[in-house]
C-alpha cells in the first residue's frame, strides 16, 4: 500500500505556490499553506481566492465546491504549522541557500516519514536534499504555470531518492489529475531546458530592436500555434524567477551562452518590472496580478495611422510555380486583388492553374467559399510565362527556387521592367533580403514577405525590412497583409527572421536531449504539450517539417550567428544521412510505415 497523503503542506504562496495549494485542495486534500510574513500570507490567500472566484465566474467551479475547496486550506506563518503533514511542497524563490535553509528547517519540524518536495525549476534537487537528514525522502515535483491548468508534473528523482517515494509521488500526481514524467536531476529538467533558451533569445531580439514585443509574440502564436508568445510568457512566469532560472541553468548547464540572462531582464527586475505579478513587465497590466494588458507608450500606432503611409496595391504579380507561389496566388485572388502569375513556361502555368483550381475546389467542398467566389477568384488570375507582363503591377512577390543567383537575376530583371514605386518582395525563408535589394537600383522598395505554408491557411506573414527598406515600403507591405486578413510582423533581415530563428534551435535542443539519453522523444513531446500547451511536441513537429529541411535551417542559423549552441545535433545529421526524413518518407524520429 502506498502512502495516503491526507494532509499536505505548501511553503511559499507566490505565482506557483498559490496554484499548487489550489491543485491539492481541489482534489480533496487538506492543505496547510505557509508564508513568511502576515502580509505575504494575505497576498497568497488573495491569489488563491482570485483564482477560484474566476473559476466560479467562468462556470468552471460550483460555488459550494469553491467553499469546500477553501475549507480544506489552513493558512499559517512559519514552518512549525507543518508538523503533521505527510508531504510538503516548497515553492519559495529560486535561490539555493534559501531552499536549503527551508529544507533543513522542514527536516527538523516535519514527522520523520514525511516526504519533502521542491518545485524548483532549475536548482539541483540533490543539493537541496543534502540539507536534510533524509535525502532519500526528498524529491522534485515541478508543476507548471498556471498549476491548476497545466497537466504536467516533472517528478525529479535524485540518485538517492527511495523507489517507493518515487512511486507514491507518481501515484499522487495521478490522483491530482496530472500526468507525470519522471526524470533525473539535471538543470531545467525537460521543459525548462528546452524553453528558457528560447525565452532568453526572444528577449535578446527585443533588446536589439529586431522586432517589437507584439510582433515577436504574435509570430510565435500564429506561426507555431503556441498558446502565448515568449514575452507574454516571461511576464506570466515572473522576470525575477525567470532570471534566477536562467542564471542557474547557465551555471549548472555547461555555461551555454544562450542561458546567460540577457541584460535587459536584470535591468527590468531591478526596476521592479517583474511581469504580471507587479502589474508591469514586457507589457503593462490593468493592476498587479491581472492578466489584462493595457496600452502603454510602447503600444504600436493604430492600423489606420500606419496604413496612411501605404501605397495603393490593386494588382500584384506572383512569380513561381511551386507550393508557395500557388498558395500566394490563391490568397491574393480570394482577397479580391488582380493577380498576374508568371512562371517559366506554359506547362508550369498549366500545372499551377490546376493546383489552384484543386485547392479552391477543396475550399468549396469544405464550405469555406462558394462556387461563385471560386470562379471570381480564378477569373482574377492571368497566366503568363513572360516577366514583361509585370510592367503595370503594384506589387511583385517572387517565390522561385531558394537559390541566391536565381533570385538576384530575377530582381535585376524586375528592376528593368517594373514601374517606379512598385514594392518588390521575396518569400525567401533563408537568403538575406538585402542581397536581392542590392541587385536592383531601388533597394528602398525591396522587402521580404515571408508567408507560411500552407499560405491560404496560415495567418502570419513576416515582413522583412532590410537596412535599405523605406518606411513607405514597409507600410505598404503590412497594409497588403492586413488586406489579405493576415497578421504582419515586421522584423530585421536576419537568418530565420522571427519564427524559424526561435523555433529551430529549440527543436535542435530537443534532439540533443534524446541524444544525451536524458529522456525519450515520447516524454519530451508530452512534456512540451502538457507543460507548456504546445500544439505538437518537438519530435512530432520535426517529422512533419522534414528532418532535412530542419537541418538546413539549423545550419543556416549556425553559419550566420556562429553561436556554438546552434550547432546542428549530430543525431539530426545522422538521421538525414540515413534517409529518415520524417513523415514524407514514412520514417523520421518515429516509424509511420507500421501505423
Ligand atoms: N513562475 C513560474 O512560472 C514557475 C513555474 C514552475 C516552477 N517555478 C518554481 O517555483 C518556485 C517559486 O517561484 P514563484 O514564481 O512562485 O516565485 P514567487 O516570487 O512568485 O513566490 C515565492 C513566494 O515565496 C515566499 N517566501 C519567500 N521566503 C519564504 C520562506 N522563508 N517561507 C515561506 N515562504 C517564503 C514569498 O513571500 C513569495 O510569496 C521557484 O523555485 C521557481 O523556480 C516557477
HEC string of 117-163 equals: EECCCCCCHHHHHCCCCCHHHEEEEEECCCCCCCCEEEEEECCCCCH
**What pLDDT was estimated at residue 271?**
98
**What pLDDT was estimated at residue 229?**
98
**What pLDDT was estimated at residue 303?**
66
Give the Å distance between the CA of 120 and the centre of ligand 1.
Answer: 9
C-alpha cell at 517: 539519453
**What pLDDT was estimated at residue 308?**
79
Reduced to 3 states (helix: H, G, I; strand: E, B; else coil), residue 477 is helix
Mutate which of 9, 10, 11, 15 for ligand 1 pocket (most atoms within 8 A of beta carbon): 15
275 Cβ below 6 A of ligand 1:
no
Give the Å distance between the CA of 196 and the centre of ligand 1.
Answer: 17
Give the Å distance between the CA of 286 and the centre of ligand 1.
Answer: 23
Res. 1 pLDDT band, cuts 50 70 90: confident
Atom number of ligand 1 nearest to Cα 244: 43
The answer, yes or no, to whether residue 493 has pLDDT greater than 70, is yes
pLDDT tens sequence across 421-455: 999 999 998 899 999 999 999 999 999 999 998 99
Res. 483 pLDDT band, cuts 50 70 90: very high
pLDDT tens sequence across 457-475: 999 999 999 999 999 999 9
Is residue 374 classed exposed, middle or buried when 0-12, 13-18 and 19+ CB atoms within 10 A define those classes? buried
230 Cβ below 6 A of ligand 1:
no
Dihedral (C-alpha) 484, 488, 493, 499: value to the nearest 10 degrees? Answer: -110
The answer, yes or no, to whether residue 409 has pLDDT greater than 70, is yes
The rounded Cα 471 to chain-centroid distance in angstroms is 29
The answer, yes or no, to whether residue 180 has pLDDT greater than 70, is yes
Q: What is the pTM of this model?
A: 0.92
14 Cβ below 6 A of ligand 1:
yes
Which residues carry out catalysis? 429, 450, 462, 500
Give the Å distance between the CA of 350 and the centre of ligand 1.
Answer: 62
The answer, yes or no, to whether residue 163 has pLDDT greater than 70, is yes
From residue 266, alpha-carbon distances to 195, 201, 260, 584 in Å are 19, 14, 11, 44
**What pLDDT was estimated at residue 300?**
86
The C-alpha atoms of residue 226 and residue 149 are separated, in whole angstroms, by 16
Percent helix, strand, coil in the chain, to 5, is: 50, 15, 35
Whose C-alpha lies nearest to ligand 1, atom 41? Answer: 120
Amino acid at each position: 500500500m502506498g502512502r495516503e497523503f491526507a494532509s499536505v503542506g505548501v511553503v511559499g504562496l507566490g505565482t506557483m505556490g498559490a496554484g499548487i495549494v489550489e491543485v491539492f485542495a481541489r482534489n480533496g486534500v487538506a492543505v496547510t499553506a505557509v508564508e513568511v510574513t502576515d502580509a505575504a500570507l494575505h497576498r497568497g490567500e488573495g491569489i488563491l481566492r482570485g483564482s477560484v472566484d474566476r473559476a466560479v465566474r467562468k462556470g468552471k467551479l460550483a460555488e459550494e465546491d469553491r467553499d469546500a475547496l477553501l475549507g480544506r486550506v489552513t493558512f499559517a506563518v512559519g514552518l512549525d504549522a507543518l508538523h503533521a503533514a505527510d508531504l510538503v511542497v516548497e515553492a519559495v524563490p529560486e535561490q539555493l541557500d534559501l531552499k536549503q535553509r527551508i529544507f533543513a528547517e522542514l527536516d527538523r519540524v516535519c514527522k520523520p516519514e514525511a516526504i519533502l518536495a521542491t518545485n524548483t525549476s532549475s536548482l539541483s534537487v540533490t543539493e537541496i536534499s543534502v540539507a536534510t537528514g533524509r535525502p532519500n525522502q526528498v524529491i522534485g515535483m515541478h508543476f507548471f504555470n498556471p498549476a491548476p491548468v497545466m497537466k504536467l508534473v516533472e517528478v525529479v528523482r535524485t540518485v538517492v531518492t527511495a523507489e517507493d517515494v518515487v512511486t507514491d509521488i507518481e501515484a499522487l500526481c495521478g490522483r491530482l489529475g496530472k500526468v507525470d514524467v519522471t526524470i533525473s536531476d539535471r538543470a531545467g529538467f525537460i521543459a525548462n531546458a528546452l524553453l528558457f533558451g528560447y525565452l532568453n533569445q526572444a528577449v535578446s531580439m527585443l533588446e536589439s530592436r529586431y522586432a517589437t514585443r507584439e510582433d515577436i509574440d504574435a509570430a510565435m502564436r500564429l506561426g507555431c500555434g503556441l498558446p502565448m508568445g515568449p514575452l507574454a510568457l516571461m511576464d506570466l512566469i515572473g522576470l525575477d524567477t525567470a532570471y534566477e532560472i536562467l542564471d542557474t541553468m547557465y551555471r549548472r548547464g555547461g555555461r551555454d551562452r544562450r542561458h546567460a540572462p540577457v541584460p535587459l531582464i536584470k535591468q527590468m527586475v531591478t526596476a521592479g518590472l517583474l511581469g504580471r505579478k507587479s502589474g508591469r513587465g514586457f507589457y503593462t497590466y490593468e493592476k498587479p496580478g491581472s492578466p489584462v494588458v493595457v496600452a502603454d507608450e510602447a503600444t504600436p500606432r493604430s492600423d489606420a495611422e500606419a496604413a496612411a503611409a501605404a501605397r495603393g496595391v490593386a494588382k500584384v504579380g506572383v512569380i513561381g510555380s511551386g507550393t508557395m507561389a500557388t498558395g500566394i496566388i490563391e490568397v491574393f485572388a480570394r482577397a479580391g486583388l488582380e493577380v498576374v502569375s508568371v512562371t517559366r513556361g506554359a506547362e508550369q502555368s498549366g500545372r499551377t492553374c490546376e493546383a489552384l483550381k484543386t485547392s479552391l475546389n477543396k475550399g468549396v467542398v469544405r464550405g469555406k467559399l462558394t462556387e461563385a467566389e471560386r470562379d471570381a477568384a480564378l477569373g482574377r488570375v492571368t497566366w503568363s510565362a513572360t516577366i514583361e507582363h509585370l510592367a503595370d503591377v503594384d506589387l511583385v512577390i517572387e517565390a522561385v527556387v531558394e537559390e541566391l543567383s536565381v533570385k538576384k537575376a530575377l530582381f535585376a530583371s524586375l528592376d528593368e521592367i517594373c514601374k517606379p514605386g512598385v514594392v518588390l518582395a521575396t518569400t525567401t525563408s533563408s537568403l538575406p533580403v538585402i542581397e536581392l535589394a542590392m541587385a536592383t537600383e531601388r533597394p528602398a522598395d525591396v522587402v521580404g514577405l515571408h508567408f507560411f505554408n500552407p499560405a491560404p491557411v496560415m495567418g502570419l506573414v513576416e515582413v522583412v525590412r532590410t537596412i535599405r527598406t523605406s518606411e513607405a515600403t514597409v507600410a505598404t507591405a503590412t497594409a497588403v497583409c492586413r488586406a489579405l486578413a493576415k497578421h504582419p510582423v515586421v522584423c530585421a533581415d536576419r537568418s530565420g527572421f522571427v519564427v524559424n530563428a526561435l523555433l529551430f534551435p529549440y527543436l535542435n535542443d530537443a534532439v540533443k536531449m534524446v541524444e544525451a539519453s536524458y529522456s525519450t522523444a515520447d516524454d519530451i513531446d508530452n512534456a512540451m504539450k502538457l507543460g507548456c500547451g504546445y500544439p505538437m511536441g518537438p519530435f512530432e513537429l520535426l517529422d512533419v517539417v522534414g528532418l532535412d529541411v530542419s537541418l538546413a535551417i539549423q545550419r543556416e542559423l549556425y553559419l550566420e550567428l556562429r553561436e556554438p549552441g546552434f550547432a546542428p545535433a549530430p543525431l539530426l545529421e545522422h538521421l538525414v544521412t540515413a534517409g529518415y526524413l520524417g513523415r514524407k518518407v514514412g520514417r523520421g524520429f518515429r516509424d509511420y510505415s507500421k501505423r
